[in-house]
């Protein structure tokens, strides 16, 4: 499988997506690929980038191009960082460890989801890059406190609190495919969905070899008979509120990032609570559908933040040109998610490396074509955006 991702026919993230689709059972592919409700925001997160036009400076030589960024005083060799992706171990054996390792090799950062299939200590050890821990309060605040302590001891350099998940969005493809049953670890409930796994023997043998049924070793979810676990109700019991940010910030004692900002007003609230950075995110359109694409609301948030803290963005980023556009609109850096998840699912470590390489090469080429030799020099003068976004 690993060989496929290295093929010269794999030139963009869509190619990796198709390879992932080939290797994975439908339910696992759709878990990555799908969005909420009618998937309006899912497609618009991507297409909104097409509404931004570059304004290149021609006849400018850029023999070298600086792609380094600094976020929260941490240094990254690339202007994109790997976002939290729950259940990555379902896509590829030891998925979280594999992805974190590749982020480190590329000189960028990795964010580990609370819903990781691998222990946070093991993931941190696999990489020398800055690693951030994404926090859900699943399992309650006492469990979260313990996890915060573990993440601190393990050496994670920021905590990312996701605030857009008071309840799971309706991902219709997941409902039809029985994804909840797969994640719930209830073998009886999984029975009807076994055939879609059997026709993907490569994935199945690797998955079983890695321990099979998903578990989430960094949270303690209520376990029923046969290890049955329910993520949905656990989320609802432990909604993250603005008040929680106070004790989380105190317990953590380090850099804190809030992920899931759509509007300037919420970014101001985060600043008032002493947060160090925000991520403009609609959770990859997996939660509330019909919210505006993230790149469209970035200017509003950047304006509200007024340079006081770092602003990051994710959502729909599939090309280096998308990264460059986000930086032009004031993001300090971006998070990529499905872009590397497809690579991981298509071919493990080499697949993640390929995704990172595709986006990095895109960025370098775009910078040279723009006539700009450092991502730190990108600003609004390099783009035209629709007047209603400003």
**Which positions make up the binding site for glyoxylate?**
31, 136, 171, 283, 286
Task: Pick between residue 277 and residue 336 the one whose CB is nearest to ligand FMN.
Answer: 336
Candidates 101-109, 221-229, 312-320, 357-365; binding stretch for ligand FMN (CB under 6 A): 312-320
* 259 contact choice in ligand 7N5, ligand FMN, none (CB below 5 to 8 Å, kind-dependent): ligand FMN
Cβ distance 80 to 45 under 8 Å?
no
Among 41, 44, 45, 177, binds ligand FMN (CB under 6 A): 45
Among 12, 62, 146, 168, binds ligand 7N5 (CB under 6 A): 168
Ordered DSSP codes for 288-346: STTPPPHHHHHHHHHHHHTTSSEEEE-SS--SHHHHHHHHHTT-SEEEE-HHHHHHHHH
Catalytic choice (89, 101, 262, 283): 283
Cβ distance 172 to 199 under 8 Å?
no
Window 204 to 263, contacts with ligand 7N5 (CB under 6 A): 231, 235
Q: How far is the CB of 361 from ligand FMN (least distance, A)?
A: 18
Asked if 320 touches ligand FMN (CB under 6 A), the answer is no
Which residue shows structure tokens 């899931």?
260
- 262 a catalytic residue: no
Q: Which residue is nearest to ligand FMN (CB)?
A: 284
Helix, strand, or coil (residue 89): helix
**What's the gap between Cα 378 and its chain centre?**
23
Task: Pick between residue 113 and residue 186 the one whose CB is nearest to ligand 7N5.
Answer: 113
Candidates 70-78, 97-105, 244-252, 310-318; binding stretch for ligand FMN (CB under 6 A): 310-318
By residue count, the chain amounts to 390
CA 285/CA 7 separation, integer angstroms: 30
The pairing of strands 277-280 and 256-261 is: parallel
Using CB atoms within 10 Å of the CB of residue 14, give its burial: 0 to 12 exposed, 13 to 18 middle, 19+ buried: exposed
Task: Give Dmax over CA atoms of the chain in angstroms.
Answer: 68
Asked if 137 touches ligand 7N5 (CB under 6 A), the answer is no
Task: Pick between residue 163 and residue 353 the one whose CB is nearest to ligand 7N5.
Answer: 163
Helix, strand, or coil (residue 384): strand
Q: What is the 3-state secondary structure (H, E, C) of 113-180?
A: CCCCCCCHHHHHHCCCCCEEEEECCCCCHHHHHHHHHHHHHHCCCEEEEECCCCCCCCCHHHHHHCHH
* 235 contact choice in ligand 7N5, ligand FMN, none (CB below 5 to 8 Å, kind-dependent): ligand 7N5
Asked if 315 touches ligand FMN (CB under 6 A), the answer is yes
Other beta carbons within 10 angstroms of residue 188's beta carbon come to 10
Asked if 86 touches ligand 7N5 (CB under 6 A), the answer is yes
Asked if 316 touches ligand FMN (CB under 6 A), the answer is yes
Q: How far is the CB of 219 from ligand 7N5 (least distance, A)?
A: 11
Q: Which residues are annotated as a binding site?
A: 31, 84-86, 113, 134, 136, 162, 171, 259, 281, 283, 286, 314-318
Q: How far is the CB of 134 from ligand FMN (least distance, A)?
A: 5
Residues that bind ligand 7N5 (CB under 6 A): 86, 115, 165, 168, 231, 235, 283, 286
Give the residue numbers marked as catalytic.
283
Residues that bind ligand FMN (CB under 6 A): 31-32, 45, 83-86, 113, 115, 134, 162, 259, 281, 283-284, 286, 314-317, 336-339, 341
């Amino acid at each position: 499988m690993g060989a496929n991702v290295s093929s010269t026919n794999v030139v963009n993230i869509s190619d990796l997506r198709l390879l992932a689709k080939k290797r994975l059972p439908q339910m696992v592919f759709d878990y990555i690929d799908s969005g909420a409700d009618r998937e309006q925001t899912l497609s618009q997160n991507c297409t909104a980038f097409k509404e931004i036009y570059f304004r290149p400076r021609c006849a400018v030589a850029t023999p070298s191009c600086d792609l380094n960024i600094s976020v929260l005083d941490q240094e990254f060799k690339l202007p994109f960082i790997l976002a939290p992706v729950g259940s990555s171990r379902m896509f590829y054996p030891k998925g979280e460890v594999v992805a974190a390792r590749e982020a480190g090799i590329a000189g960028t950062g990795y964010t580990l989801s609370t819903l990781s299939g691998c222990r946070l200590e093991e993931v941190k050890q696999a990489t020398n890059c800055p690693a951030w821990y994404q926090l859900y309060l699943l399992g309650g605040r006492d469990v979260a406190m313990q996890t915060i302590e573990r993440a601190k001891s393990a050496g994670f350099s920021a905590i990312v609190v996701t605030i857009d998940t008071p309840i799971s969005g309706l991902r219709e493809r997941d409902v039809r495919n029985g994804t909840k049953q797969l994640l719930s670890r209830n073998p009886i409930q999984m029975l009807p969905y076994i055939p879609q796994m059997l026709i993907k023997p490569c994935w199945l043998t690797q998955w079983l070899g890695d321990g099979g049924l998903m578990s989430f070793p960094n949270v303690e979810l209520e376990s029923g008979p046969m290890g049955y676990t329910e993520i949905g109700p656990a989320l609802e019991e432990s909604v993250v509120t603005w008040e929680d940010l106070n004790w989380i910030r105190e317990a953590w004692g380090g850099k804190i990032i809030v992920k899931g900002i759509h509007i300037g007003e919420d970014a101001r609230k985060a600043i008032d609570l002493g947060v160090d950075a925000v991520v403009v995110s609609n959770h990859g359109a997996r939660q509330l559908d019909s919210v505006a694409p993230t790149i469209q609301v970035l200017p509003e948030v950047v304006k509200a933040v007024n340079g006081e803290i770092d602003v990051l963005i994710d959502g729909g980023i599939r090309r280096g040109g998308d990264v460059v556009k986000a930086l032009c609109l004031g993001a300090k850096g971006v998070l990529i998610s499905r872009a590397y998840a497809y690579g991981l699912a298509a071919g493990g470590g080499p697949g993640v490396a390929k995704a990172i390489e595709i986006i990095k090469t895109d960025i370098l080429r775009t910078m040279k074509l723009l006539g700009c030799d450092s991502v730190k020099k990108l600003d609004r003068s390099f783009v035209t955006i629709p007047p209603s976004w400003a």
